[in-house]
């Protein structure tokens, strides 16, 4: 092997690395590109070429070894430079003392500790190269996360360039979160625009960081380029994009650790925090060094609500790196750090009333109406009580003071009553005998049913609203303009009698509606529909072309959710052929069975259900299976697994390249796999392929497979 690298080669290598890093940065940060995609690929290939001749150049600093190895897309997998461990937890002082004693014993001394708050946000891994932002990824499984660099560029507290004298490579760990004040504001705005609110600040942070801002930008660009697209649509798209960016800008970052680092000598956790501060990275102002761990835990348990963000505990770390190394880590977590988790917050509030709601399938569910109270980050005034038995089991009376918490920090749950506070005025809950919405007598559909239902599926307003809302939901037709408030307006204002006429809605039918018409001045209405109306109409058009399985889900047939619907859509080419299928035919399908088959046959036998199908068809809703366009069929019967990122393809793009030629893409390697396609940074699937002797194709081999089929790909590998 050559060991001497000619000076010319070395300087060309440096030059190429700079060009590529710069291009990547601009790409990620949405700056103007300096080189074209072709030039980029040429430089990258030249770099690969040099490194294959001089492997010692393949250092950690080379772009060929970094994130993805190729320009990655939003949510593409990113392998962290060093693993992100989770932390072990303790839940009380005694457990913490046991942990501290073990540290003393293992080290033969009591170390200095660093204590910090455990922010309830979303963990991220950020890489800076030569002081410039290179990538941001979610934690994922600790080894591989998702690329969120594109969205992260909008978060002001994530600097694009570091200050001071940053090390040449710096991998930083931190938490992205919303301050409580921001969170409350976001939720109140979501409520105003009739969107679903976030359950807690952590969910809000995760949801916000995972928005497809890139797609929204593409949509705006497309609409701008298309002379036919209306001003209105362009304006709507622009507003949506602006909203998405505005909320991203409200996210904050706090950093609390370092992963891989090159070009800095650090002796302790606290020293690394000083470096992070000097680099201009946001370090929490609440950390402390050399404190008493027990006192630290107790102090913050009492003051957890004095911080601007939600915390779910504190973290205690051994400060000195040498001692950290001595303690090492388990397979899951470091031995030198521990998280003290505070118990889920339990609050008390007044149970004002128990009412019942009517679900999509007519199910009557009692729910608690309480004095609004703040718990685990958000204000709660309602909690489901599931059914009558549950109310009895909890032993709660209307007028009681009740204990309330959030199960899993998300779902409000009444634990029980504070019986000592009763004054005799409390009342027992009595399940109503008629539906609160349509006054039909409610009943148990089957004798053994715990649940009671309103049998008036055809015209019970509450059920109609829930069904419409479900049609618009993500699992069904994904109609953004059809949220709960829009659904309620359509039924309550008499615009729709039921879902049959949904796709016949026009501007004219929405005019005059309280919800869908622009207000001119207080009290009076214009004759123009507002943004909610426009959105609904344009989204309904798109929904008409959704795949067959989504239409099936939208019909609200009992037991037919997304999974069953997809199974049915695979077996049948159209809704008509499902309707014509016999019960026996349906029942014999794997994953359907008799009960579901019966439910399907029964649904289609009802006249007003048939009317829904007829009217949807008349309005242009596609009830056929639209077969994916086949480019060729030379991969028919071939099963492949794709791992790592393929240059020139997004993850979906690479899959589609295979399926559009008749092939199948699987997620795991087995003996039945014909080829494993390996891109940059392949995972364990590559090892599995080798183990099973499955042929492995690189990018070139993949191109051969797509172009000329499996036998050409085999001979490309020198196999017969
Ligand atoms: Zn009813």
Ligand 1 center–CA 413 separation, angstroms:
26
Is 31 a residue whose pLDDT tops 60? no
CATH of 639-716, picked from 3.40.50.10190, 3.30.1360.70, 3.40.50.300, 2.60.120.10, is 3.40.50.10190
Residue % of the chain over a pLDDT of 90: 45
The predicted model scores a pTM of: 0.56
Which residues partner with 137 through β-bridges?
Answer: 125, 147
Mean pLDDT over 380-400 rounds to 92
So what's the pLDDT on residue 447? 62
Separation of alpha carbons 12 and 49, rounded Å: 12
Largest CA distance in the chain: 93
Residue 307 is given by DSSP the state: S
Number of C-beta neighbours around residue 103 at 10 A: 20
So what's the pLDDT on residue 294? 96
| Superfamily (CATH) of domain 7-65 | Helix hairpin bin (1.10.287.610)
- Do 16 and 42 meet the contact criterion of CB atoms below 8 Å apart? no
Ligand 1 center–CA 366 separation, angstroms:
14
**Sign, Cα dihedral of 214, 211, 22, 278:** positive
Which residues partner with 206 through β-bridges?
Answer: none
So what's the pLDDT on residue 150? 86
Ligand 1 center–CA 436 separation, angstroms:
7
Ligand 1 center–CA 437 separation, angstroms:
5
Q: What is the DSSP string of 656-675?
A: HHHHTTT-EEESS--TT--E
Mean pLDDT of the chain: 87
- Do 449 and 435 meet the contact criterion of CB atoms below 8 Å apart? no
So what's the pLDDT on residue 127? 94
Mean pLDDT over 106-131 rounds to 94
Smallest CA-to-CA distance from 256 within 121, 106, 457 is with 121
Is 688 a residue whose pLDDT tops 50? yes
CATH of 548-618, picked from 1.20.58.220, 2.40.70.10, 1.10.150.20, 3.90.180.10, is 1.10.150.20
- For residue 295, what pLDDT band results from cuts at 50, 70 and 90? very high
pLDDT tens column, 143-200 = 888 889 888 988 989 998 899 999 999 999 999 999 988 988 888 888 777 677 787 7
Ligand 1 center–CA 361 separation, angstroms:
10
Report the alpha-carbon angle 200-202-207, nearest 5.
Answer: 100
Phi-psi region of 235 (alpha: psi -120 to 50; beta: other; left: phi over 0): alpha
Query: Has 295 been annotated as catalytic?
Result: no
Worst-scoring range by mean pLDDT, 55-64, 279-288, 347-356?
A: 55-64
Q: Which residues surround ligand 1, an ion (CB under 5 A)?
A: 435, 437-438, 454, 456, 460
- Do 456 and 438 meet the contact criterion of CB atoms below 8 Å apart? yes
pLDDT tens column, 547-597 = 899 999 999 998 898 888 988 988 888 999 999 999 999 999 888 989 999
461-543 architecture in CATH? Answer: Orthogonal Bundle (1.10)
pLDDT tens column, 631-656 = 778 888 889 988 877 777 766 678 77
Smallest CA-to-CA distance from 132 within 38, 241, 22 is with 22
Map residue 553 onto helix, strand or coil.
helix
pLDDT tens column, 227-271 = 777 787 788 888 888 888 899 999 999 999 999 999 899 999 999
List of E strands, 450-529: 452-453, 517-521, 524-529
What are the extents of the domains in the chain? Answer: 7-65, 89-186+251-341, 213-240, 346-456, 461-543, 548-618, 639-716
Ligand 1 center–CA 358 separation, angstroms:
7
Say which residue the tokens 């409000």 belong to: 412
So what's the pLDDT on residue 651? 66
Report the b/e string of 212-251 with b at 16+ CB within 10 A: ebeebbebbeebeeeeeeeeebbebbeebbeebbebbebb
Tokens of 322: 């040498």
| Superfamily (CATH) of domain 89-186+251-341 | DNA ligase/mRNA capping enzyme (3.30.470.30)
Ligand 1 center–CA 414 separation, angstroms:
26
So what's the pLDDT on residue 72? 43
Ligand 1 center–CA 488 separation, angstroms:
15
Separation of alpha carbons 605 and 189, rounded Å: 44
Chain Cα centroid distance, residue 362: 30
Same fold, 461-543 and 548-618: yes
346-456 architecture in CATH? Answer: Beta Barrel (2.40)
Ligand 1 center–CA 458 separation, angstroms:
9
Higher pLDDT, residue 459 or 13: 459
Catalytic residue (choose from 32, 53, 58, 118): 118
Please list the alpha-helical segments (H only) found in 108-177.
149-152
Report the alpha-carbon angle 483-487-492, nearest 5.
Answer: 150
Worst-scoring range by mean pLDDT, 111-115, 228-232, 298-302, 611-615?
A: 228-232
Separation of alpha carbons 15 and 20, rounded Å: 9
């Amino acid at each position: 092997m050559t060991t001497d690298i000619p000076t010319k080669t070395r300087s060309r290598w440096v030059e190429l690395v700079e060009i590529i890093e710069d291009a990547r940065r601009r790409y990620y940060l949405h700056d103007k590109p300096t080189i074209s995609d072709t030039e980029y690929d040429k430089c990258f290939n030249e770099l690969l070429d040099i490194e294959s001749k001089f492997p010692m150049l393949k250092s950690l600093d080379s772009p060929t070894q970094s994130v993805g190895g190729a320009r990655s897309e939003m949510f593409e997998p990113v392998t962290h430079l060093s693993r992100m461990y989770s932390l072990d937890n303790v839940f009380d002082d005694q457990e913490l003392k046991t942990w501290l004693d073990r540290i003393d014993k293992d080290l033969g001394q009591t170390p200095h500790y660093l204590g910090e708050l455990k922010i309830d946000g979303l963990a991220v891994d950020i890489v800076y190269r030569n002081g410039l932002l290179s990538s941001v990824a979610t934690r994922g499984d600790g080894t591989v996360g998702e690329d969120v660099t594109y969205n992260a560029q909008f978060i002001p507290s994530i600097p694009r360039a570091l200050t001071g004298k940053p090390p040449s490579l710096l991998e930083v760990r931190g938490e992205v979160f919303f301050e409580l004040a921001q969170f409350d504001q976001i939720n109140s705005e979501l409520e105003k625009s009739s969107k679903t609110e976030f359950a807690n600040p952590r969910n809000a942070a995760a949801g916000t960081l995972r928005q497809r801002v890139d797609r929204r930008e593409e949509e705006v660009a497309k609409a701008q380029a298309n002379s036919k697209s209306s001003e209105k649509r362009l304006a709507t798209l622009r507003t949506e994009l602006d909203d998405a960016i505005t909320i991203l800008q409200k996210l904050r970052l706090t950093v609390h650790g370092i992963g891989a680092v090159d070009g800095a000598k650090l002796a302790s956790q606290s020293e690394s925090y000083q470096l992070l501060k000097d680099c201009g990275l946001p370090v929490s102002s609440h950390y402390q060094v050399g404190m008493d761990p027990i006192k630290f835990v107790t102090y913050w348990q009492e003051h957890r609500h004095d911080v601007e963000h939600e915390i779910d505990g504190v973290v205690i770390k051994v400060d000195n790196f040498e001692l950290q190394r001595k303690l090492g880590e388990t397979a899951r977590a470091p031995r030198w750090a521990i998280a003290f988790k505070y118990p889920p917050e339990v609050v008390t509030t007044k149970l004002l009333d128990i009412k019942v709601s009517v679900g999509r399938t007519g199910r009557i569910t009692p729910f608690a109406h309480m004095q609004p109270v703040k718990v685990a980050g958000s204000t709660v005034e309602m909690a489901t009580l599931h059914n009558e038995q549950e109310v009895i089991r909890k032993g709660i009376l209307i007028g009681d003071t009740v204990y309330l918490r959030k199960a899993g920090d998300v779902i409000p749950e009444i634990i029980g009553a504070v019986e000592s506070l009763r004054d005799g005025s409390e009342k027992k809950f009595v399940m109503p005998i008629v539906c609160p919405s349509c006054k039909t007598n409610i009943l148990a559909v089957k004798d053994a049913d715990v649940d009671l239902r309103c049998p008036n599926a055809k015209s019970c307003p509450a059920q109609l609203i829930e069904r419409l809302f479900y049609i618009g939901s993500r699992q069904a037709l994904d109609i953004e303009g059809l949220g709960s408030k829009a659904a309620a307006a359509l039924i309550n204002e008499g615009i729709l009698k039921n879902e049959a006429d949904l796709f016949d809605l026009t501007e004219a039918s929405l005019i005059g509606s309280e919800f869908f018409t622009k207000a001119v001045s207080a009290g009076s209405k214009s004759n123009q529909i507002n943004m909610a109306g426009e959105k609904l109409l344009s989204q309904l058009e798109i929904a008409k072309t959704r795949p067959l399985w989504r239409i099936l889900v939208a019909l609200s047939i009992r037991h037919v959710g997304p999974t069953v619907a997809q199974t049915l859509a695979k077996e049948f080419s159209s809704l008509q052929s499902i309707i014509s299928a016999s019960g026996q035919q349906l029942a014999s399908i794997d994953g359907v069975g008799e009960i579901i088959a019966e439910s399907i046959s029964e649904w289609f036998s009802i006249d007003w259900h048939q009317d829904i199908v007829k009217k949807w068809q008349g309005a242009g809703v596609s009830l056929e299976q639209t077969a994916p366009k086949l480019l060729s069929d030379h991969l028919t019967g071939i099963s492949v697994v794709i791992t790592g990122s393929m240059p020139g393809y997004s993850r979906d793009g690479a899959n589609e390249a295979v399926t559009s030629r008749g092939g199948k893409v699987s997620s795991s390697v087995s003996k039945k796999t014909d080829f494993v396609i390996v891109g940059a940074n392949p995972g364990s699937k590559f090892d599995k392929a080798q183990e099973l002797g499955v042929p492995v194709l690189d990018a070139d081999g993949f191109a051969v497979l797509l172009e000329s089929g499996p036998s050409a790909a085999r001979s490309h590998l020198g196999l017969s």
